[in-house]
Structures are given as structure tokens and as C-alpha cells.
């Protein structure tokens, strides 16, 4: 399994926001696809493009892919670069797609987009196997049952472009958890340590030979010699449902285009101007910027916006390069460039 690579890859994508629990998935347009050898590059590129459309649109409908192909475009048209990378003795094709070209095509075909701003979903999974003390699954867990949950979350996180996190226990956590008794709640302690948009709280209990019971956010009973496969299937279906619900309010309507003014305060050099403009244009909701004025370290732009103002503000709030100046009320979107 390429579990360790995916884990470190996902952690590397997180940029913590000062204003919300959502995070910026800043390599949204880079896909890592397992590859056996160089002869399968062509097929891996095709799979990577299909995965990109799924990740960016939030929908696994093949109709979006065929809309793009039938419009006269080829999958390779959207690629910036690709190369084979090796992690944990496994080979991956790293495919970088051109964000501007992808978004432009989505706009042309009115395919909805979910931007870089992605929710943080936190998983508190307690297991009571009957052979040891009840425990919570963490990133450090290594047994086969734990790996079902860890691998499923890593796979879906990478595929859908969303942050699916679970606890990471340090020595202090381990000591604290071991000191809890019947009058205290380790669950409340763990929840208080993390910021997230949505909590998934489940417990898996062994109730007999090949018999298991889910409780909490999942409620079902499993009785089968293939219980591990059943656990994985039930968990996978539940998480896919949660992801779909989480994305519903984040969809950007690419057919809706309007104009607004954006002021950016804190521009003190040409380098500030270049970097801040590049970061603004990287936001999916902004498709064009025209300078109207520059004075007192403030640049005023006329901006072409895709979607609506709520989605744009959400993306800015989850971006580490800008703060929204809430003290300045006007029809203009007032930003502060954070160096």
C-alpha cells in the first residue's frame, strides 16, 4: 500500500486558516496515480485526468468527462507536466494540470466547480475488540483492523480533495488517555484538541465470533466470516455520503459571472504586487483582474468573478495570504495582503 506517501502528501497540502476550520487544498490540480512501468504512462494520464475532473467538480458522473472530450479537447491538452516519482518503493505518475485551462473549459461547458477551500472532517473511531482495552484509532495504529479505516480515509482524501483527519497521539496524549477513569471522558478530551468542520463519531464493538456492531454515527450489525470487507464497505459508503453532503454548499456555478471591485492593502513593493496578484488569480472564483488605481499602498482592481460573493469570501478566508478587512464596510471587497 502507498498509505505512508498519501498521508505525508495530504499533511503537506494543509494551510491552516486563521478564520475558519476549512483548509486550502493548494495542490488541487496535481494528481498522483500509481503506475507499474513507463509503458502505462498513457493510460495513467487518462486516469489522472478523469480523477481530476471528479475531484474538481465534486461529481463522479462520466458525463462531465465526455462533455470535455466531445468539445474537441484531449486530456493531454490540460497537462503542464508529468513525471514518475518513487515513494515507499512504489511508483506514482505525478501529473500537474493547468488550472487556468481546466477552469476555462469548465466555464465554457458550464460544469460546476468546487474550489481549493475544502472542509476538515475529523474522525473519532473507537474500537472494542474484546481482547484488549477499548482504544481510539490514530495515525500511529498498525493492526489490520485499524488500517481499514486509515487506508480508506487516505484514499478518499486524495481522490476527492478533502481533509479527512484522525487523532495523532503524542506521549502526553498517551499518558492522559491512560489516566482516564469511569468519571472522565477521553472522547471530550480528544475533541477539544482539534478544530474541524464536521465530527464523525463511531464505535466498532466485537460482539461474538465474526460478529461486530457499529454504533454512533453508523448503526449496523455485521455477522460474517468476511467481516473486515463488510466493515470497509459500510465505512466507505458512509464517508462518501458525508463528503457529498459537505460539498453541496461549496459548488461554484461557473455559468454565473459578475464584476466587483477588490482593494488590496499592504502592497509596498513590486514583488508584493506580483505575488499578491498571482495568489488572487489562483483563487478559482477570480478569473481576471484589471488595475484601476494604486495609492497609499493600496491597489484597486476591477475583478471578474465566477459564482457568487459568498463562495469567493469563503475561499479568501481559507487562504493564508489575505485577510478580509471587516472594519471597512463598502461595496468593494477590502483585503489585507499578509506577507
- Give 7's pLDDT tier (boundaries 50, 70, 90): very low
CATH number given to 256-337: 3.30.70
CA-closest candidate to residue 289, choices 323, 314, 278: 278
Q: Is the pTM of this model over 0.75?
A: yes
Pairing relationship of beta strands 113-114 and 251-252 according to DSSP bridges: antiparallel
| Ranges of each domain in the chain | 29-112, 120-248, 256-337
What 3-state DSSP class applies to 130? coil
User: Comparing 33 with 141, which gets the higher pLDDT?
Assistant: 33
| pLDDT tens digit sequence for 256-273 | 999 999 999 999 999 999
| pLDDT tens digit sequence for 267-295 | 999 999 999 999 999 888 898 999 999 99
Chain centroid offset of residue 101 CA: 21
- Give 330's pLDDT tier (boundaries 50, 70, 90): low
Supply the angle between the helices 99-108 and 41-57 in degrees, to the nearest 10: 60
Amino acid at each position: 500500500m502507498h498509505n505512508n506517501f498519501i498521508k505525508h502528501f495530504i499533511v503537506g497540502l494543509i494551510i491552516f486558516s486563521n478564520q475558519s476550520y476549512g483548509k486550502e487544498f493548494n495542490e488541487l490540480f496535481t494528481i498522483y496515480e500509481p503506475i507499474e512501468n513507463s509503458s502505462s504512462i498513457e493510460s495513467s494520464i487518462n486516469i489522472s485526468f478523469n480523477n481530476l475532473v471528479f475531484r474538481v467538480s465534486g461529481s463522479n458522473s462520466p458525463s462531465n468527462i465526455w462533455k470535455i472530450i466531445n468539445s474537441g479537447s484531449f486530456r493531454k491538452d490540460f497537462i503542464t507536466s508529468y513525471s514518475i516519482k518513487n515513494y515507499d518503493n512504489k511508483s506514482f505518475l505525478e501529473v500537474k494540470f493547468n488550472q487556468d485551462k481546466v477552469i476555462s473549459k469548465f466555464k465554457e461547458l458550464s460544469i460546476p466547480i468546487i474550489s481549493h477551500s475544502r472542509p476538515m472532517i475529523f474522525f473519532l473511531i473507537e474500537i472494542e475488540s474484546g481482547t484488549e482495552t477499548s482504544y481510539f484509532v490514530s495515525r500511529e495504529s498498525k493492526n489490520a483492523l485499524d488500517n481499514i479505516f486509515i487506508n480508506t480515509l487516505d484514499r478518499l482524501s486524495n481522490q476527492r480533495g478533502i481533509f479527512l483527519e484522525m487523532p495523532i497521539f503524542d506521549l502526553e496524549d498517551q499518558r492522559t488517555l491512560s489516566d482516564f477513569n469511569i468519571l472522565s471522558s477521553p472522547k471530550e478530551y480528544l475533541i477539544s484538541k482539534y478544530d474541524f468542520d464536521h465530527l464523525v463519531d463511531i464505535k466498532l464493538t466485537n460482539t461474538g465470533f465474526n460478529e461486530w456492531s457499529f454504533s454512533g454515527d453508523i448503526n449496523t450489525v455485521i455477522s460474517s466470516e468476511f467481516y473486515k470487507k463488510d466493515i470497509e464497505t459500510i465505512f466507505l459508503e458512509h464517508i462518501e455520503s458525508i463528503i457529498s453532503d459537505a460539498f453541496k454548499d461549496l459548488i461554484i456555478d461557473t455559468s454565473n459571472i459578475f464584476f466587483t471591485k477588490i482593494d488590496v492593502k499592504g502592497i509596498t513593493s513590486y514583488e508584493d504586487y506580483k505575488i499578491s496578484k498571482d495568489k488572487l488569480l489562483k483563487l478559482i472564483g477570480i478569473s481576471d483582474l484589471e488595475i484601476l488605481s494604486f495609492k497609499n499602498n493600496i491597489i484597486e482592481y476591477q475583478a471578474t468573478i465566477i459564482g457568487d460573493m459568498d463562495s469567493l469570501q469563503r475561499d479568501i478566508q481559507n487562504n493564508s495570504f489575505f485577510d478580509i478587512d471587516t472594519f471597512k464596510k463598502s461595496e468593494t471587497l477590502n483585503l489585507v495582503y499578509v506577507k
